[in-house]
Amino acid sequence: MYCHGFLVIKWGHGRYRCTQCQKTFTPYQHRKIRAHRYFSIFRRWVTRGLTVELLCQLFPLAPRTLIRHFDVFLQSTPIVSPPKTKKTICLKVDATHLGRWGCVMVYKAGKDILYWQFSQREYYDGYVAGLRWLIKAGYSIAGVASDWHGSIVAAVQYLLPSIPHQRCLVHTQRLCQALTTARPKTEAGYMLLRIVRELNHLHNRYEVRIWKSWLLLWERRYGALIKERTHGTKEVGTRTWWYTHKNLRRAFRTLRLSQAHLFLYLDHQGLDKDTNGLEAEFAHLKGKLYVHRGLKRDRQVAFMMWYLYFKSH
């Protein structure tokens, strides 16, 4: 028997004594210590990416014993507790997809993960339920930053229409750079790429005005180019058309039509300009999950829920 990793010996009269701290325990108290000890080992297994074999080297336990106790924890998911006092927060909201079998939607404020939910896909009702839970729990949401997925945009507009909703500059920049490509074949694409690369380096309203003037000059010079159309004929014989430079047009319109939500972080203190904090959490989560990729699907979902719970406590 062990107490926090130290040997416990029988002390007589149905009691046990720890050889390190010299404390004595009843069998019932010792069972509680063992349960607590397995939970602390389980926490290391989840948060540090340690394998069962490595844990068995750190603690004098058999692999089957650890696996049996870990499976008990993975049969259930932790319950998110609301805060004790009301808080005013600026949210970062994003989801990470896990192939065809679902995604995890996470709500974070500053360095604290407040809420999370597993879903088959990133959809409107899921975000509405998550935001409602936060509001009911006592959080006062002063602003939201997201990747501008249609479901989260609609959910925020429905529940919190008056708060600022910041579009993630990193997601916007990556999207536009993918549309223009790293080596544009046209002068218009090259000039727009230079404008896009400056998007995440604006620190005040003066720099924003300069950036907007660059975009306006680009539109005056190449506006006719992105309106060009190519006409063709379908296999059934009907006539059709499409924009010749559709990717370049989409990149420009993304910047042009979303300006009202790109620079809100300059006017609202505490509002993030991107969701990088969540992207880092997702990278760590998937790294830990990859170490235990042999788990069944329902156990992997429970593993992710426990990981986010430990990160928030």
* Among 23-32, 158-167, 247-256, the least confident range: 23-32
What's the CA gap between 267 and 263, in Å, rounded?
8
178, 151, 176, 156: which is closest to 166 by C-alpha?
Answer: 156
Residues 159 and 304 both lie in one domain: yes
CA dihedral in degrees (308, 282, 197, 151; nearest 10)?
-70
User: How many structural domains are present in the chain?
Assistant: 3
Which residues span the domain enclosing 15? 2-74
Coil, helix or strand at residue 212: helix
Please, which pLDDT band fits residue 2 given cuts at 50, 70 and 90? very low
What's the CA gap between 191 and 67, in Å, rounded?
58
Q: Is 47 exposed, middle or buried (0-12, 13-18, 19+ CB in 10 A)?
A: middle
Instruction: Give the distance from CA 197 to its chain's centroid.
Output: 24
With pLDDT > 70 as the criterion, what percentage of the chain qualifies? 88
Residues 130 and 142 both lie in one domain: yes
Residues 260 and 279 both lie in one domain: no
pLDDT in tens, 112-167: 999 999 998 999 999 999 999 999 999 999 999 999 999 999 999 999 999 999 99
Residues 241 and 158 both lie in one domain: no
pLDDT at 234 over 60: yes
Residues 184 and 251 both lie in one domain: yes
Residues 158 and 180 both lie in one domain: no
- pLDDT computed for residue 57 by the predictor: 87
- pLDDT computed for residue 107 by the predictor: 96
| Average pLDDT over every residue of 98-108 | 90
The single residue listed with the structure tokens 């969540």 is 278
Residues 175 and 160 both lie in one domain: no
pLDDT in tens, 294-313: 899 999 999 999 999 998 87
**Which amino acid belongs to residue 24?**
T
Residues 155 and 175 both lie in one domain: no
pLDDT in tens, 185-232: 999 999 999 999 999 999 999 999 999 999 999 999 999 999 999 999
- pLDDT computed for residue 10 by the predictor: 42
CA dihedral (286, 289, 294, 296) positive or negative? negative
Residue ending a domain, choose from 74, 95, 120? 74
| Average pLDDT over every residue of 222-246 | 92
Residues 189 and 235 both lie in one domain: yes
Residues 172 and 263 both lie in one domain: yes
- pLDDT computed for residue 36 by the predictor: 67
